[in-house]
Amino acid sequence: MKLSRRSLIVAAPAVLGAPLLGLAPSARANNALTVGLIPSEDSRAMIANSQAMMDMLAKALGMPVRPFVAADYNGVIEALRSKRLDVAYLGPFSYVLGTTVADIEAFAVAETKKAGRTSYHSLVIARKDSGIKTVADLKGKTFAFVDPTSTSGHLFPKAGLIKAGFNPDKDFGRVIFSGSHDSNAVAVQNGKVDAVAIADRILDAAIAKNLAKREDLVVVWKSDPIPESPTVWRKDLDPELKRRVQAAFLEVKNIPWSDQGELNGFHPTNDAAYNVIRETARALNLDLRKMK
């Protein structure tokens, strides 16, 4: 996936000093829970769209809940590190990066009615009539990734191919970045490229939109489950407050969840659930600390 609410990659600007819009350093002193949201182009609209969730949290906690939107992902991480935020919603990769600079921990993950799960998979698919059945068969073929910063459209499949003994930088005949998962579905369906990387849920959507036909395609490789974006807290929050916060999040359900449809609800999670992100970073020789 590309950078979005489900993003797994943190943008390039430095973590330290990134601004948080509208958040005073003394927010916790006002006995309110402060919640950081993933950035959008319009922070006012994002706060308005999140109001239903904030109201449900406030009712369950019996205390004010104040949402804030940072200028970028790194602003959320810095606000957590400097204790100006209590809780935040981060992408899986941004969370893993955040743990290298801030004392934070994942505690909940959302499930939407549309997805019906808290994880998804990256796939490498080809047309059945291409003769490609295994990763080894990709040698010399044309291939489309989605975007260099796409998790399921580049980072995870690239790491998976490397683990399978395939060198994506040398073994393909030609590699392109199409820019979107839908474009990849269309490209492989129409034979413009021999194989592509794509997220399983987006392939399902592309098939539903008649952009591709399942009977024409074969799955060559499938990733381990990729966890959805976590909700995290500062580890130094009072243990009783943590208990109440997690319980409150687990009560939130049946509300609009940005572009992901309706929220089924939250499920408990933990830091270890995101080790698959760390393993992928190691497979690609990504130094998370240098990505700050």
pTM reported for the whole predicted model = 0.72
Give me the torsion for CA of 281, 173, 197, 41, rounded to 10°. 70
**pLDDT recorded at residue 150:** 73
| Residue 254: how many other CB atoms lie within 10 Å | 12
Q: Which two structure tokens, joined as six digits, stand for 229?
A: 């974006």
Q: What is the DSSP string of 143-193?
A: EEES-TT-IIIIIHHHHHHHHTT--TTTSSSEEEE-SSHHHHHHHHHTTSS
Q: Which helix H or strand E contains 227, and what residues bound it?
A: strand 226-227
Q: Which two structure tokens, joined as six digits, stand for 56?
A: 């449900």
**pLDDT recorded at residue 114:** 78
Beta bridge partners of 119: 227
**pLDDT recorded at residue 159:** 93
**pLDDT recorded at residue 45:** 65
**pLDDT recorded at residue 29:** 46
Structural domains of the chain, ranges and CATH numbers in brackets? 27-115+229-291 (3.40.190.10), 122-222 (3.40.190.10)
pLDDT, mean of each 10-residue run, the chain (292 residues): 35 33 45 80 66 91 89 84 93 86 95 85 96 97 87 90 95 94 95 95 89 96 91 96 96 78 90 92 76 52
**pLDDT recorded at residue 127:** 96
Q: Which two structure tokens, joined as six digits, stand for 240?
A: 């009783």
| Rounded (5°) CA angle 197-164-212 | 20
